[in-house]
Structure 1
Amino acid sequence: MFKLNFKIAMRNLWKNKVFTFINIGGLAIGMASCLILLLYVAYEMSYDKQFTHHEKTYLAIDNLTANGQITSWPWTPAPMAREIRDKIPGVAYTSHSTFPEKTLISYKHNNFKKQAIYADPSFLKILDYKFIKGNPALALKQVNTVILTETLAKSLFGSEDPINKIIKLGNTENLKVEAVIEDIPINNSIRFDYLLPWALNEKHNPPLKEPNWKSNVCMTLVQLKDNQFFNQVNNQMKGIYKRNRTISSSEAFLHPVSKMHLYDKFENGKSTGGKIDQLRIFLMLAFSILLIACVNFMNLSTARSEKRAKEVGVRKVIGSSRKSLISQFMLESMLLAFIGMLIAFTLLEISLPYFNALLHMELTINYKDWKFWSVLVSLTLLTGFVAGSYPAFYLSSFEPVKVLKGFNTAGNSSLSIRKILVVFQFIFAACLIVCTAVIYQQLNYVRNKPIGYNKAGLIDIFAEGKIRTKSQLLLIKNQLLKSGAVTDVTYFSQSLDDGGNNTSDFSWAGKKPSDIFIFNYRNTGYDFTKTTGAKMLSGRDFSPKYKDSATIIINEAAVKIMGLKNPVGTVIKYANQPLTIIGVMEDFVMESPYKRAEPMAISYNMNEIYTIIARLNPNQNVSNSVNKIDDIIKTMNPDFPVERHFVDESFETKFHNEKLLGILSNWFGGFAIFISCLGLLGLALFMAEQRKREISIRKVLGASNLNIITLLNKDFIKLVAIGNLIAFPVAYLLINNWLASYSFRIAISILPFAIAIGLSLLITILTVSFQSIKVVKSNPADSLKNE
């Protein structure tokens, strides 16, 4: 029986090539889109789960109540790890480590600036990286040692055995290579190129040895003996700051390492989501596209109902049961789904390199993974079943006597179901159009919003080695200005768009001792506002005309926090040292462009400068100017590679998630709309088939082609209008909820909804008219000759 049904199915598919091509094309595009999105979601969901005991490994988070709000960050005091290990039961291991930072490492003539982490031996017990060479039991216990990743070891030593070789850190410190580990997977939040002992960090920074609970300087990892201890450990973590520091507004809690990547958003001290929200959108998008493809299959199958009705009638007359007919139609559906999956799989392989380049990822298909094949087979069967279920049960229900006498097979109920399905498609399409338009509006708004300085033409140059002294920094400034490559030069304690370096040590008249306020604290040199284009609202910038050793500049946000009416000239204190405010600067964006500026204070201190900021000469060629800058820095600091970047380019990276959401929504929204067009075509075919006699009579009675095309389009325009009316409130709620997470956001205007209406109508008219023109050009005699 199966063999017979298979032959009939193949014959039907081959006989109706256009119908088969459209059906398979819709299913293939739908399944390929679904697979790519599922592959992306699976990749993101796999973050930080490579370790043996990842499910009971946690990151300590500091909830700091300051500036009238709770701020959560992963920076914690150095003694926290030992305190947890020694005094809280249920803990297996604790570790403290720095966050990754680029540091020069060299061997002979090979010099590289790579990401380094200082960590204690327990770090490798919690995160059990695979050792290629060396003894894991001895790792990170000696002071002047280093552990390299496989790629860095090859870059430094080539084919040589790196073990026990001596390399240099920052061209000053000799380190012995004690081990080589596998490269850190890309889907790992804690990424580095080499590991250094925590004892070496203490050697360079002796204050780290002191039990200082005031300074958050490291990342603390905690691995529990079992997750049954979680509540007990987490509750005791809450008071760990106050037990060790009398005045503290901080509380600590445990956050799963496996959620670092996806759940990185905190509000009022609690995890509220993050990238997981975006993944949920893509997951919904994946299955919605697949569902639209299945809906098209239903529409196209039932559109041919009259042709299949006689076949059903004849087969029932000669003894076929309804069950066997259902099996026949389901087999055809499964066959189409299988062919569609083969094409979808091919499209997936072809498009993966493009999407990897677009998303800056390495999405791959693991052919050895049984989970992949399980998903592939399940998706094919699900698609075949969903797509074929309605046509199978609908077509197999025809009564043989009626259909063989020419009974009109399509009743009002079936037509209504198809209309509902098309309305559903346009609800989804209209929502996508509105949401994508608002995402791009929001992205452009924040990207073009004033940020407090002019980032165009600014270059950050990292200052290290010989050029970190005041005399060398001044010499570089003179050389750069003399070269003509730049017009202005200043200095900063870090890159303009970097966060961190916060303090609560500022005090002023009227501040209560119990109040805690966090300030971004920076150091600079002369000509800061002139170079960056930052605006002074009152007072002055630092200048060689004055003695600025005990002066400070604050921003608008700091003025509001302090409640100062006439800030210029006011004396405040930092760590009990008096400082006079000489200027108030307009707020400018350093961290997130989506949030309001934090209070900031800037001092003049050339001993704490790590970045040279230069403004390119607009009258010079950019490439030539950059080459001149590189040559000057390289000549004055030959032991270090030149590390610089354009400020506007690094600023763009802050929009990565939103750009990604916009790009994927645009691409797969386009696919969904294209597949929806096939659905419209399916219903247009059905309507034309059912109304061909009516159309023929109208033509005989004198109706013009335009009248008939308008008549056929009118019904579909109604469906689109209903779809949009339902979609707009849904889209408004979705996009308003998405915008709610941003401090700076656009007002939802009528424009995205107008775009959705315009595109929906255009797509409908073009798609339906394509089929309608074929109908009106047909000879009415062909339809009426048998009447």
Structure 2
Amino acid sequence: MLKSYFKSTLRNIAKSKLHSLINITGLSVGMAVALLITLWIWDELSFDTYHEKYDRIAQVIENSAHNNEVHTSKVIPWPLEAALRKDYPNDFKYIVMSSFTDQHVLSASGKNVLFSGNFIGEDAPEMLSLKMEKGQRNALQDASSILISSSVAKALFGDTEPVNQLIQMDNKAIFKVAGVYEDLPVNTTFHKVAFMAPWKFFAGNKDWIGRDPNDWNDNSLFLYVQLSDNADRQKVSEKIKNTKQQNGPPDAKQQSALFLHPMGQWHLYSKFENGVNVGGGIEYVWLFGIIGVFVLLLACINFMNLSTARSEKRAKEVGVRKAIGSLRSQLVTLFFFESVCMAFTALVFALFVVFISLPAFNVLASKKIAIPWDNPILWVWVIGFTLVTGGLSGIYPALYLSSFKPVKALKGTFKAGKLATTPRKVLVTVQFAISVLLIICTIVVFKQIQFAKDRSVGYSRNGLINIEASTGDLHSHFEAIKDELLQNGAIVSMAESSSPTYGINNNRDDVEWKEKDPSQKYTFGSIRTTAEYGKTIGWKVAQGRDFNLQMPTDSDAVIINEAALKYMNLEDPIGHILQFRKRSNTIIGVVKDMVMSSPYEPAKPTLYYLGGRGFDNVIIRINPAASTHESIAKIEKLCKAYAPAVPFSFSFVDQEYQKKFSTEEQIGNLATVFAILAIFISCIGLFGMTSFMAEQRIKEIGVRKVLGASVLDVWALLSKEFVVLVCLSFFIAMPGAYYFMDTWLQHYTYKTELAWWIFAATGIGTLLISLITVSFQSIKAALANPVKSLRTE
């Protein structure tokens, strides 16, 4: 029986080469899109599963009430670790303190390289189940040891044995390599951690910590835990909720609640609003999952339409089979078998498309996805997916074609009739409605990105560069470097800061002022600078003045932004006293808000003040009258002269600012590709339908031409039906697109409008594309010789 079905399928494909090609092309493109999206979703869902105990690992996070709003912060005060160890010893297997993942200069064997890493607790390698290539996981118990990744070992030591070698960090501390671990994969939170240095060393060296280990107000560190095997996360989270209030000083107790955020949710459920988790990346997983289903559905609709459109040609075949005893169930099985064979043929092409397009897809999505060819789960899923696709594509044609009456079919009196075309019209309308929906969504995403990019940032990014000062060398020679660069004309200004202009690295909630509501907790961005900071970045002073080197009192001065002014509700801020840093600080100026964090959110209330220990960033304004390339070369030369052990590395501030849009741009780019493929699939289906209609009505067209019909008349005859369907699909898709995108835009404080031209442009563009598709076959049929058409049987 199967052999007979297989022969019938081959004969049918050979008999209708064009329609078979269109069917297979549509299915293969739809399946390729679905497979790519599946690989992307799998990569997202498997984030952090590299760590064996990821389901037991969590991060301690704080909810705190600020000015009648609840804010969620991942950074915690240092004393919290000791409090958790003391009060809940049976609930945690590991409690791990960690610094930020920062770049440091690692020097060994005459080489100096920049790598990112953490100072982290001794249990971290075990908690994160590092795969050790050499050495032991417990090496961080020794305050003089360090664990390095395979990449660091290769960069510093090449083929030399790295274990027991010495590494100097930032031209200061020296560590012994106690182990080498496998590079962490990209789809892990810690993938940038190329080395792990001992927390014991960090905690015991004042030059490194730069903070008071007993300060409950200084939220600047991370705390990770692994729950005990018998501990319930929800119950433990409830237990530790009031730990800060119970152990901290009075000013640290105000409306603070701790909780555990599980590792399994770090990536896809990272967004909090008013203290409640509202999702995050999971929204995009759902979005692309739905897009994948839609695109595959478009391909299946093509198959259904073209199969049922050819119903009159297969009517006699059905009649003969029924006349010689075939049951309807056998015919249904035959047509299902044909569609499944088509689906498996399309699968071969789809896998090829996925294979050759995956590198470009990885670039577009900023991923490193590989096809797991040796994974049996993949093949089980692919085969099941293909069977479902084939079954979905063939269900309507199988039921429709097998329902023909044999007598009418054999007499040649069978006609599909107008009602038979209704389902096809519905399916075409659904196809283009989905395509229109995707196009509108894509345009809105890019319009929102451009809207945020056009927002005033409050300072001048052009010609501004940032150098991360991983060692103290640049700080020690700051004045000498600045003077020489000013003299040679490479720069116009230069400053130091604890944060780059495109981010705020530190916060503080110990700020007091006379009018402060004691029942509320307030958190401010905290940025230490040198006096030239404002001049260098070009901020705009709204009230008061900038810092002045000639005024000694500015060592206790503070400048606030307009967001902080509004936050504190001060009418006349100049001369006001703020208490923080265990001293009084006088407000000397108010600057316009600057976009330093998310460009989609309001500016954060921020304090700028002078002094403190070494700075982490050197900010330079390049001379606009000089060559940028030559100026960078002069800066590099001087930096290498004064800090020879530090690899020269810099970033343009405008480029770093553009990175803030990377997630939205990736989503927009992927959506664009999928929207183009959706309209392509819809159009090839339209092409197939038009070609079949032209073939079916060839004699009618011949008669009309003989009677005087023009090419335009014939084109209108074949096109008008599809034009009506495309217009109908637009009006169906428009309300849904408006609702979905309006809901999406509500996630942003600064958001674009849903302008009328987006819908108009989409409708007109879709109509033109469909007309071009239909016109090719319509005009070809209209130009055919009517004599030849009328002679054709």
CA distance in 2, matches of 1:185, 1:131: 14
State the partner residue of 1:195.
Answer: 196
Deviations along 1:557-579, one digit per CA (max 9) or x if unpaired, are: 11111222222232332245222
State the partner residue of 1:335.
Answer: 341
Q: Which consecutive unaligned segments of at least 5 residues does structure 1 have?
A: none
Deviations along 1:28-75, one digit per CA (max 9) or x if unpaired, are: 111111111111111111111112221122111111211332221221
State the partner residue of 1:487.
Answer: 492
Kept in 1, the 8 Å contact 2:219–2:507? The answer is no
Please identify, of 723-732 and 412-421, the stretch whose mean Cα deviation from structure 2 is larger: 412-421
State the partner residue of 2:244.
Answer: 241
Please identify, of 108-117 and 283-292, the stretch whose mean Cα deviation from structure 2 is larger: 108-117
Please identify, of 659-668 and 480-489, the stretch whose mean Cα deviation from structure 2 is larger: 480-489
State the partner residue of 1:220.
Answer: 223
Tell whether 2:136 aligns with 1:130.
Answer: no
State the partner residue of 2:175.
Answer: 175
Kept in 1, the 8 Å contact 2:210–2:613? The answer is no
Q: 1:649 Cα deviation (Å)?
A: 0.9
State the partner residue of 1:534.
Answer: 539
CA distance in 1, matches of 2:636, 2:475: 19
Tell whether 2:330 aligns with 1:324.
Answer: yes
Tell whether 2:509 aligns with 1:504.
Answer: yes
Q: 1:405 Cα deviation (Å)?
A: 2.2
Q: 1:121 Cα deviation (Å)?
A: 2.2
Q: Name the SS of the counterpart of 1:218 in structure 2.
A: strand
State the partner residue of 1:295.
Answer: 301
CA distance in 2, matches of 1:691, 1:674: 25
Kept in 1, the 8 Å contact 2:26–2:302? The answer is yes
Kept in 1, the 8 Å contact 2:237–2:259? The answer is yes
Give the TM-score, by structure 2 length: 0.95
Letter in 2 for 1:107: A
State the partner residue of 1:113.
Answer: 114
Q: 1:242 Cα deviation (Å)?
A: 0.8
Please identify, of 401-410 and 301-310, the stretch whose mean Cα deviation from structure 2 is larger: 401-410
Q: 1:484 Cα deviation (Å)?
A: 1.8
CA distance in 2, matches of 1:351, 1:439: 24
Letter in 1 for 2:500: S
1:441-590 correspondence to structure 2 within 5 Å: 441-469=447-475, 472-547=477-552, 548-590=554-596
Q: 1:26 Cα deviation (Å)?
A: 0.8
Letter in 2 for 1:659: E
CA distance in 2, matches of 1:752, 1:407: 49
Q: Name the SS of the counterpart of 1:65 in structure 2.
A: strand
Kept in 2, the 8 Å contact 1:309–1:409? The answer is no
Deviations along 1:484-520, one digit per CA (max 9) or x if unpaired, are: 2222222222211122311122222211222221111
Q: 1:210 Cα deviation (Å)?
A: 4.2
Deviations along 1:83-128, one digit per CA (max 9) or x if unpaired, are: 3344234433222222311111111211112112122222223211
Letter in 2 for 1:516: K
CA distance in 1, matches of 2:401, 2:235: 62
- Which of 283, 286, 296 pairs up with 1:280? 286
Gap change, CA 1:782 and 1:160, over 3 Å in 2: same
CA distance in 1, matches of 2:234, 2:352: 49
Q: 1:228 Cα deviation (Å)?
A: 6.0
Tell whether 2:719 aligns with 1:713.
Answer: yes
Q: Name the SS of the counterpart of 1:54 in structure 2.
A: coil
Kept in 1, the 8 Å contact 2:560–2:606? The answer is yes
State the partner residue of 2:150.
Answer: 150
Deviations along 1:716-764, one digit per CA (max 9) or x if unpaired, are: 1211121111111100111111111111001111121011111111012
Deviations along 1:190-223, one digit per CA (max 9) or x if unpaired, are: 2311111111011223787844432223222222
State the partner residue of 1:617.
Answer: 623
CA distance in 1, matches of 2:790, 2:326: 32
Kept in 2, the 8 Å contact 1:463–1:610? The answer is yes
Q: 1:695 Cα deviation (Å)?
A: 3.9
Taking only aligned residues, the RMSD between alpha carbons, in angstroms, comes to 2.0
Kept in 1, the 8 Å contact 2:494–2:618? The answer is yes
State the partner residue of 2:99.
Answer: 98
State the partner residue of 2:57.
Answer: 57
CA distance in 1, matches of 2:722, 2:170: 70
Percent identity among equivalent residues?
A: 37
CA distance in 2, matches of 1:436, 1:254: 36
CA distance in 2, matches of 1:451, 1:306: 65
Letter in 2 for 1:38: T
Q: Name the SS of the counterpart of 1:378 in structure 2.
A: helix
Deviations along 1:249-285, one digit per CA (max 9) or x if unpaired, are: 2211111102111111111112111111111111111
Q: 1:686 Cα deviation (Å)?
A: 4.7
State the partner residue of 1:723.
Answer: 729
Deviations along 1:383-410, one digit per CA (max 9) or x if unpaired, are: 1111111111111111121122223432
Kept in 1, the 8 Å contact 2:104–2:470? The answer is no
1:410-429 correspondence to structure 2 within 5 Å: 410-429=416-435
Please identify, of 185-194 and 617-626, the stretch whose mean Cα deviation from structure 2 is larger: 617-626
Q: Name the SS of the counterpart of 1:507 in structure 2.
A: coil
Please identify, of 682-691 and 419-428, the stretch whose mean Cα deviation from structure 2 is larger: 682-691
CA distance in 2, matches of 1:555, 1:119: 34
CA distance in 1, matches of 2:719, 2:91: 70
Q: Name the SS of the counterpart of 1:488 in structure 2.
A: strand
CA distance in 2, matches of 1:220, 1:525: 31
Letter in 2 for 1:524: T
Q: 1:169 Cα deviation (Å)?
A: 1.7
Q: 1:622 Cα deviation (Å)?
A: 2.1
Tell whether 2:676 aligns with 1:673.
Answer: no
Q: Which consecutive unaligned segments of at least 5 residues does structure 2 have?
A: none
Tell whether 2:69 aligns with 1:69.
Answer: yes
Please identify, of 409-418 and 439-448, the stretch whose mean Cα deviation from structure 2 is larger: 409-418
CA distance in 2, matches of 1:236, 1:207: 31
CA distance in 2, matches of 1:227, 1:667: 47
CA distance in 2, matches of 1:258, 1:81: 22
Letter in 2 for 1:385: G
Kept in 2, the 8 Å contact 1:56–1:227? The answer is no
CA distance in 1, matches of 2:211, 2:472: 25
1:356-367 correspondence to structure 2 within 5 Å: 356-367=362-373
Figure out how many residues of one structure are paired with residues of the other and give that number.
785
Please identify, of 283-292 and 217-226, the stretch whose mean Cα deviation from structure 2 is larger: 217-226
CA distance in 1, matches of 2:52, 2:630: 51
State the partner residue of 2:660.
Answer: 654
State the partner residue of 1:33.
Answer: 33
Q: Name the SS of the counterpart of 2:563 in structure 1.
A: helix
Kept in 1, the 8 Å contact 2:701–2:714? The answer is yes
Kept in 2, the 8 Å contact 1:528–1:541? The answer is no
Tell whether 2:158 aligns with 1:161.
Answer: no
Q: Name the SS of the counterpart of 2:219 in structure 1.
A: coil
CA distance in 1, matches of 2:190, 2:538: 36
Deviations along 1:341-369, one digit per CA (max 9) or x if unpaired, are: 11111111111111222333211011111
Q: Name the SS of the counterpart of 2:772 in structure 1.
A: helix
State the partner residue of 2:780.
Answer: 774
Q: 1:617 Cα deviation (Å)?
A: 2.2
Q: Name the SS of the counterpart of 2:217 in structure 1.
A: coil
CA distance in 1, matches of 2:238, 2:629: 57
CA distance in 2, matches of 1:212, 1:580: 23
Gap change, CA 1:227 and 1:383, over 3 Å in 2: farther
CA distance in 1, matches of 2:516, 2:619: 35
CA distance in 2, matches of 1:551, 1:189: 39
CA distance in 2, matches of 1:194, 1:251: 32
Q: 1:446 Cα deviation (Å)?
A: 0.4
CA distance in 1, matches of 2:356, 2:443: 28
CA distance in 1, matches of 2:575, 2:42: 57
Q: 1:606 Cα deviation (Å)?
A: 6.6
Q: Name the SS of the counterpart of 2:590 in structure 1.
A: strand
